Chains A and B, each alone.
Chain A
Amino acid sequence: GQNIDQPTEMTATEGAIVQINCTYQTSGFNGLFWYQQHAGEAPTFLSYNVLDGLEEKGRFSSFLSRSKGYSYLLLKELQMKDSASYLCAVIPSDSGYALNFGKGTSLLVTP
């Protein structure tokens, strides 16, 4: 089976840095995605990792360690608009390209 774990909730202060962790156990691996989802809206793409290491994109960075089944999303210089759910999703190698999602981490940014 597929198992993707991430913390349920996190709180951080505006201007700070927050790291959202994701661990996974899946049958094969074809890549890991991070999506952002504001309340009442559709998920939107943030990042994709398939090789080990850090991918940086502006204020957001994503890290992957395939040997450890571990990823994190790093958000810098937090803004109030970053309050949202962050979804970790893995493509197992036998899934026909469909994403297996974790339950998401709800991030609250406070003033």
Chain B
Amino acid sequence: DAGITQSPRYKITETGRQVTLMCHQTWSHSYMFWYRQDLGHGLRLIYYSAAADITDKGEVPDGYVVSRSKTENFPLTLESATRSQTSVYFCASSGLQATETQYFGPGTRLLVL
């Protein structure tokens, strides 16, 4: 029972490079989310998806792109990484109802040099 996984767990990249963070869930959850967590800001929503091929912006979407061609996968791409995107990125998923618990992946720690 894998649940929700993220890869890579750690990533170091350079300014201007493209980076893709992967998220995979095995529950067939409809909703998937990407958050970033920074000191002093807490968790902030980047993008979310209600179903395959349906995505929407969150609070801090600039510089990020998402896609969801399959229900179980929700990759997050940094098109041209900047130092301000150094953060811990969490993927989460939940079922159809608004009141359902969101389950978080283990996180990806990204350092942009």
Chain A neighbourhood of B40, CB < 8 A: 103
For chain B, the bracket of interface size reads 20 to 34
- Max chain B CB contacts within 10 Å: which of A44, A97, A102? A97
User: Which residue of chain B lies nearest to A44 when distances are taken between CB atoms in the complex?
Assistant: B104
Instruction: Say how far A50's CB is from chain B's closest CB, in angstroms.
Output: 6
| A residues in contact with B42, CB < 8 Å | 87, 101-104
Prevailing SS type, chain A contact patch: loop
Q: Which of B42, B90, B94, B101 has the most CB of A within 10 A?
A: B42
**25 residue pairs from A and B, CB less than 8 Å apart:** A30-B98, A43-B90, A45-B101, A45-B103, A48-B101, A50-B99, A87-B42, A89-B43, A91-B98, A96-B48, A96-B50, A97-B31, A97-B50, A98-B45, A98-B58, A99-B43, A99-B45, A99-B102, A100-B45, A101-B42, A101-B44, A102-B42, A103-B40, A103-B41, A103-B42
